[in-house]
Amino acid sequence: WCRFRSDPIVAAARRTSRLTMQAGATLSNVTENVMQRVRMPSGDKLHVRPHHPLCTLRRLIEEYFEQSIGRESGGLQLFTDMPAVVSTTACFDELLVARDHPSRRPTDTYYVDESTVLRAHTTAHDTELLRRGLRCFLVSGDVYRRDAIDRKHYPVFHQVDGVRVFENAPSEDWVLDDLKRTLFGLAQHLFRYPVQDAAVAAADGRVAATDGTATDDNEVPVRWVDAEFPFTRRSLELEVLWQGEWLEVLGCGVLQPDVLRAGNVDPKRASGWAFGLGLERLAMVLFGIPDIRLFWSSDRRFTSQFRDGAITRFRPFSKYPPVYKDISMWVKDAPADADSNGTAAVGFHENDLCELVRSVAGDLVEDITCTDSFVHPKTKRRSNCYRITFRSTERSLTDEEINDMQFRIRDQIAHSMSRVAEL
Ligand code: FA5
Ligand code: MG
């Protein structure tokens, strides 16, 4: 029932974190494709790979924290190779993620077994590091989520989380101000231009640039948006205006007292902040990389463009033509009260379709969009039409290989999704 139980990486993670195997564990929903990324030797991972844009960006972030708070707090600790296989306790429970929170569902998270997941965020390490007595640290690594497919989403991406705990902070407002000031400084450090708080600029009657370049004053517009995370309060997201679009790059907030307690920190004496940032999102903006799949490319025309430490604009080597294929199916919706934790809810979920397509087409699939959905007036059955965009970032695809992939996708849907979808 657990294909990866004997996998060396999974076994090692289980040993070091004393994960317990429980009876009646659910079937793993980790695909071989994804497991290959988990198994990559830690030195090959993109956020530590020499000259890789994600590595350059991670180092710039660390450099900023070393130069700013590292000195004042007397001990910033950096982690880049914490194991990606973690317990549900670390990933969810200790972060107060409710039992029925959507992020826990097997449609959204990769379960190795009932109590073990591929981390869905690097926040999964925060309580453990607090328990080790650390009060100021950054954790970076590969994270895994079952998700949509488009040019901004990929099932494996990279995050950097940061935590800072203060003994005797004057107030929660003070902690929040420190957090905002710190992250604003980070944006400034990364963009090399003064960043401009869009709300402040608007109040001053100044207008933000909307074409994605810096304005005449070389200012990059950013803004704070209210957000919600179970593990923080006063939560916020930072967005950057880039190419006419507000792009969410990080989430943050003041740590909940119960999270501090889980980290053996007494919330009566201490308080703290945390943030989590997506490296791909920021790197796409800073290096001008148009498609998240490119980060995984080993094509020399991609890799040769980047040098350690330098933020340079990506020069597209050529845009290969997309090929569209439509696929229609009758789908069975999950009952509204479906059990969200553990066993697969019986119902159609788009993430399952995306995962299936990804397992057939790999990085040749660029996007999957539902283009039409209707409910039959008599039978009340729902029909969805999906448009699959195939495009390689490296070459032209032949009709033959696309037809072959499309055929295998249909075959797989009929084979493994028959309970929830009918072609
Ligand atoms: C989190 O993961 C929280 N753990 C962040 C956090 C940490 C908040 C600590 C408060 C305190 P979220 O799911 O929004 O939040 O993801 C954080 C960032 O990861 C996003 O802002 C985005 O930059 C990036 N991200 C999220 N999903 C994807 C994806 N599928 N592909 C690429 N990047 C993604
Ligand atoms: Mg978010």
pTM (2 d.p.): 0.87
ipTM: 0.98
With a 6 Å cutoff on the Cβ, whether 142 touches ligand 1 is no
With a 6 Å cutoff on the Cβ, whether 126 touches ligand 1 is no
* Model confidence pLDDT, tens digit, residues 332-346: 988 765 555 444 457
Ligand 1, atom 10: closest residue by C-alpha: 252
| 288 Cα–ligand 2 center, Å | 21
Of 250, 289, 355, the one to substitute when testing ligand 1's pocket (max ligand atoms within 8 A of C-beta) is: 250
Q: Looking at residue 159, what is its pLDDT?
A: 98
| 158 Cα–ligand 2 center, Å | 14
| 72 Cα–ligand 1 center, Å | 27
With a 6 Å cutoff on the Cβ, whether 130 touches ligand 1 is no
Residues ≥6 apart with Cβ < 8 Å to 11:
5
Q: Looking at residue 353, what is its pLDDT?
A: 96
Neighbours of 161 (CB within 10 A): 25
Name the closest ligand to CA 253.
1
Q: Provide the pLDDT confidence category of residue 266 given band limits of 50, 70 and 90.
A: very high
With a 6 Å cutoff on the Cβ, whether 365 touches ligand 1 is no
Helix, coil or strand: residue 193: coil
> Mind spelling out the 3-state secondary structure of 388-413?
EEECCCCCCCCHHHHHHHHHHHHHHH
User: Residue 261: is its pLDDT beyond 70?
Assistant: yes
Q: Looking at residue 213, what is its pLDDT?
A: 46
166 class by beta-carbon count within 10 Å (0-12 exposed, 13-18 middle, 19+ buried): middle
| 299 Cα–ligand 2 center, Å | 31
Ligand 1, closest atom to CA 163?
A: 9
What average pLDDT does the structure give for the chain? 89
Q: Looking at residue 214, what is its pLDDT?
A: 45
Ligand 1, atom 23: closest residue by C-alpha: 278
Q: Sign of the CA dihedral 307, 33, 158, 77? A: negative
User: Residue 26: is its pLDDT beyond 80?
Assistant: no
DSSP 304-365: TT--TT----------PPPEEEEEEEEE-PPPTT---SSSPPSS--HHHHHHHHHHHHGGGE
User: Which residue segments constitute the domains of the chain, with CATH numbers given?
Assistant: 8-303 (3.30.930.10), 323-422 (3.30.70.380)
